[in-house]
Amino acid sequence: MIQIGGEKLYGPYSPGIKSYGIIWLSGQIAPESGDDTASQTKGALDKIDALLAAAGVDKNAVCFAQILLDDIEDFAAMNEVYGSWVEEMENKPARAAFEAGALPAKAKVEIVIQAIDSNCCE
C-alpha cells in the first residue's frame, strides 16, 4: 500500500491510497479556488488529476465518483464542470451526487474518487 500526494489536508487522513491496483482518493475540496461551485468543482478536479497522475494513472482509470454538495441547488453548476471533465472519456465513471451540507472549510463541493490501475497486477 502506498500513500498518494501531498496536497493540503483538512484532517488526519491520506489524500489517496493505492493498493493492488485499486486507488481510493479522499474527498477533494478546493475552497481556495473561488467562492462559487463551478470554480471549486474545477479546483477539486484539478487536485484529482494531480493525485491520479501521482498514482500512475489518469482520469480514464476512474470507475466511481461521489460528489457531495453543500447545497443541492448547485447541482447544475457542478454538473456542467464535471461533464466537461468526463466528456472525452470513453467509459464515464459511475457516480452519485447529493447534498451533504456543512462540508469542511466551508467548501461548496467535495469529490471522492475510486479508480483502478489496470496495468498494475497483470
Query: How far apart (Å, rounded) are the C-alpha atoms in residues 108 and 122?
Result: 39
SS3 (DSSP) at 78: helix
| Alpha helix stretches (DSSP H) within the chain | 37-54, 75-86
pLDDT at 27: 94
Mean pLDDT of the chain: 91
Please give the grid coordinates belonging to residue 15.
489524500
Using N-to-C axis directions, what is the helix angle for 37-54 and 75-86, rounded to 10°? Answer: 30
- Supply the pTM of this predicted model: 0.91
Average pLDDT (29-46) is 96
Please give the grid coordinates belonging to residue 5.
500526494
- Sorted by sequence, the CB contacts under 8 Å of residue 34 that are 6+ apart come out as 40, 43
Q: Which tens digit of pLDDT belongs to each residue from 46-58?
A: 999 999 999 999 9
The CATH code for residues 2-116 is: 3.30.1330.40
pLDDT at 38: 98
Per-residue pLDDT for 107 more than 80? yes
The domain spans of the chain are: 2-116
Average pLDDT (101-113) is 94
Burial class (CB in 10 A: 0-12, 13-18, 19+), 101: exposed
Q: Which tens digit of pLDDT belongs to each residue from 108-118?
A: 999 999 999 98
Per-residue pLDDT for 120 more than 80? no
